[in-house]
Structure 1
């Protein structure tokens, strides 16, 4: 069974068909007269994954809590269940602010008869919910909600606004899914159920409205030491469970920072790299692994055949992000025997938090197309998007919550059947400090690159994949260096894979099998949109005239509709 955490509240009393179906979908159950908790798990970090009740509380934790040991000591608790219980007594609905890690948390207060269902501050463990009649369903997997609705003879309806979001951004913003009936619990929010009422409430917000007055030297120190501490916390979680350490390593800055920090902390790790063979990601990763005397596992993405795994990926990501986005990592990890590893350590969102989400060196508001992969269909959603965008005070915060938490972290979530993931850049304390750094210092990743040069000189001696130059040089050089290499490739007739880790267009053009598969898949499934002729016509135009990413966004919409409608 897929890794799943779920809950059902039956406000009108027991519904036997719902109960029977819920039991079939979950290996472990806690139930009462009008509610049920259920889960399937990947059997990792089981001491963290509480599933227990006493006379006063029911607690369910999915994921891992990095500071569980410290919290258990500080609350003088004799078990991790009691740690959560004591924290809940003290902090109530603000309890997630005390926790560090990637987690979702379910609490039922038997005395108050209240339910609290939390996702973490970055929504790294997404939860989806449906309110229908006098019932509330919550699950980490949309297929569970679909099954529950089927038992109630409730048919899902495609959300056209969300569909155009997917075809524009490659993901959905705010709390949207592709279906009218299903919403996502956004980062820093929780679902509160009391009596027959249920509301979405907030416990945490990230903000960049208050900037630090620290000197540049102090900021560099803070970035370095906060990242080192966060990396240490994550590696210690592996140690706690006596597992080996695995880090994804590419030619970028974020993964090398994590890898060199692990070395500074005295850890021996294994590195996983995936890219087109002989591309800079492979070459640079090998240089880093050789420098640190680390073992490197390489998975070749040649020909892009992994892009044919549409159904498998959509089932893993619930259709909320275009399937090609993290398909490379999904394919690589699936090839590994992960039994001896703990966390999969990544560098997710490092560059985003330290500069790439700034289009100017100052505070500006988000634009309608911030973070879009395609602009062809933006006029279809302009008015509705504008209303949502106005809720964000800055471009950086808008991109962080939507492109970052809603889309990029899909790379972690889709692996939840196999392994738990961690990035030191997702440490809440690091995120909050990074958002206080003045915009002019973060722009162009200036202070990030300076930190690497000053604090991690060996890491700074190896070229950066984006620019093909040392990290001390501005990423603006990427346009010059890539232009030169592309021109050389064109003139010489030699294949140059240095344009991208994922050269989608190259694969699509050169791989006849992939091209035929993609066209066949589209032709066989476009009829699923027959009830929505305007949307269908737009998908036909986007698929036939768009690049591969635009085609993959169309295929994601078709496959998700086919699976769940």
Structure 2
């Protein structure tokens, strides 16, 4: 559970707050600082340690976690040798919004003793999580909800957040399932000056279209930015003498990371893939890795054992998203010896950065909270949830479906090392978001970029469409129509479908596993039966009815949504029978 934990304004001794000798910190680097009315602790993994600052002098305290990709550039710009000196200099020269210049997955605590000013940052995309609660006892914050709630006097369940979990499978805005515990939003920082707590924004993603460039010019500029994002990541590995490791699947995003890295000369790469055996993800990734002459490891998910790690995952993600998304990555990585490898290079968010969450090139679509739900049974109730203001539906989806949900999967990597996706490089991301939707929707620009700049990457099947991206669209549409139609008929006949949850022809065939794996079925059913009564202890009658309905009448993914709620109630809220 890497990260940091802090309390400002609470005069309890540090011994009452956290015990760094606890066995769960044995594999982490631990330190602590405390004063008359504050306590700070860090517990970080042992990768990229020079980037992870733990510093105090007579004027400042600086604590960071993560990887600062542009540290070399910034140290040259500000003429500083160490990152602690660099961050202080940036703050003194540029003020509180200095963090806008940071590139990477990075969080920071900076305390100016002379003016009693605390600043707590997350990165532009909120990849390094920070959660907090402001109460009469003080300001409590940390990188993990599980750790944070251990030092809070009480944890109450937030019903709107439970509704989010039972429909969307993730939290909206700054919510968590613990009432009054909030997530620090992407591109934001907390300021505490003489006891006054404020939350400010230093970065705001926008999708204002730029109409002044041809499609050819856009492809060239986009490619240049992507190659620079790749360099930043892979050179950070080299800075520490690490070898490279990168995910690879049947999709386009991880494929492009590997092809472009290879083209730039980063060829000593270990690729890994996990899926159901013999599914397209395994077959395609194996072919690509072989042709690029990369090392390749495949981890079968056939036994579905990663789904047994429910409570371990809840301690990592705090119930902020359906647990299986973190579980399969953690299950895979913990089998690997990562000692000589650097960050995990992924393709996170690629299809919605060069592409879009939107299906039509219309900026005026109303914000739709009900799209991308895992369960439709209670989606109509989502209208009752208060949402923060967003300029349009694409920005709403990027911050919530993208940053809040998809990037939650990085928590698995951060248990062992660091991770980054070049698609999440803020300069590349912002450039792509300003490309007009007419170019991005339907992977139009994405496909053209690949075909023009990296044509060999287009020679492999794209798992999502079960065809190459150069295949005529009329054929892709007819094949998709046939698969959808056939699946619909098979579902009505209660038979396994061609692709999806109910057949082994999928990366995560949950219904197939639940139907054929008696050990897994027993685990899921037993956990539900043993813990559904916890909601009675909290007097959550309506929530219990919702969970019972979803579990008894839903598909396996909906059962996992219910289990995520129940495990959160047990481990985070602390309800007991």
What is the match of residue 552 of structure 1? 560
Question: Which residue does the alignment assign to 1:192?
Answer: 191
Counterpart in the other structure of 1:425: 423
Q: Quick check: 1:75–1:87 contact (8 Å CA) kept in 2?
A: yes
SS in 2 for 1:520: helix
CA distance in structure 2 between the aligned counterparts of 1:494 and 1:188, rounded to whole angstroms: 42
* Change beyond 3 A, Cα 1:99–1:106: same
For residues 478-525 of structure 1, the C-alpha deviation after alignment (integer angstroms, 9 at most, x for no partner) is 623644886999999998767421111211122122112111111111
Corresponding residue for residue 506 of structure 1:
512
1:16 aligns with 2:18: no
CA distance in 1, matches of 2:15, 2:410: 30
What are the equivalent positions in structure 2 for 1:9-408 lying under 5 Å apart? 9-10=8-9, 14-16=11-13, 21=18, 27-149=30-152, 154-267=153-266, 268-363=268-363, 364-384=365-385, 387-388=386-387, 391-408=389-406
TM-score of the superposed pair, with normalisation by structure 1: 0.94
The residue aligned with 1:527 is 533
Alpha-carbon offset, residue 299 of structure 1: 0.3
Q: 2:207, 2:433 within 8 Å by CA — same for their partners in 1?
A: yes
Give the Cα–Cα distance (whole angstroms) in 2 for the partners of residues 478 and 338 of structure 1.
41
Between the aligned partners of 1:488 and 1:455, the Cα distance in structure 2 is: 41
> Unaligned 5+ residue runs, structure 2?
none
Q: Structure 1 regions of 5+ residues with no counterpart?
A: none
Match for residue 455 of structure 2 among 454, 457, 462: 457
Provide, for residues 264-318 of structure 1, a one-character-per-residue CA deviation record: whole Å limited to 9, x for no partner. Answer: 0111211001111110001000110111111110000113222111111111111
Judge conservation of contact 2:209–2:436 (CA < 8 Å) in 1: no
CA distance in 2, matches of 1:520, 1:19: 35
Per-residue CA deviations over 1:105-164 (Å, capped at 9, x if unaligned) read: 110011211000000010001111111214011100122222211xxxx32110001100
CA 1:42 to 1:485, structure 2 compared with 1: closer, same or farther past 3 Å? farther
The question of whether the paired residues in 1 share the 8 Å contact of 2:122 and 2:128 is answered with yes
Q: Is 2:553 the counterpart of 1:562?
A: no
Alpha-carbon displacement from aligned partner over 1:396-454 (angstroms, at most 9, x marks no partner): 11111001111111111232121111100010001101110111111101100110011
- Corresponding residue SS for 1:214: coil
Aligned residues: 555
Cα contact 1:450–1:472 (8 A) shared by 2: no
Separation in structure 1 between the aligned mates of residue 441 and residue 13 of structure 2, nearest angstrom: 57
* Inter-partner Cα distance in structure 2 for 1:508 and 1:356: 33
Moved more, 555-564 or 303-312: 303-312
Distance 2:19 2:88 in 1: 26
Note if contact 1:466-1:478 (Cα within 8 Å) is conserved in structure 2.
no
Structure 2 counterpart SS, 1:138? strand
CA offsets 1:179-202 (integer angstroms, 9 cap, x no match) = 113111010111110112111111
Tell me the equivalent position of 1:7.
6
How far did residue 361 of structure 1 move? 1.7
The separation in 2 between residues aligned to 1:493 and 1:249, in whole angstroms, is: 27
| TM-score in terms of structure 2 length | 0.92
Q: Is the 8 A contact 1:370 1:399 kept in 2?
A: no
| Alpha-carbon displacement from aligned partner over 1:365-408 (angstroms, at most 9, x marks no partner) | 32131332222112333122xx416x112221111100111111
Q: Which residue number in structure 2 is paired with residue 416 of structure 1?
A: 414
* 2:256 partner SS: helix
Q: Distance in 2 between matches of 1:562 and 1:241?
A: 41
**C-alpha distance in 2 between matches for 1:476 and 1:140:** 44
Counterparts of 1:225 and 1:33 in 2: how far apart (Å)? 51
Deviation string, structure 1 residues 83-116 (Cα, Å, up to 9, x no partner): 1111111121111111100010110011211000
The answer as to whether partners of 1:468 and 1:481 remain within 8 angstroms in 2 is: no
**Rounded Cα–Cα distance in structure 2 between residues aligned with 1:431 and 1:477:** 33
Residues of 1 paired with 2:477 and 2:162: CA distance?
Answer: 34
Q: CA RMSD, aligned part only? A: 2.2
Task: Provide the rounded CA distance (Å) in 2 between the counterparts of 1:266 and 1:466.
Answer: 29
3-state DSSP class of the match of 1:235?
Answer: helix
Deviation larger for 266-275 or 477-486: 477-486
2:531 is paired with a residue of what secondary structure? helix
Contact map agreement 2:483 2:498 (CA 8 A) in 1 = no
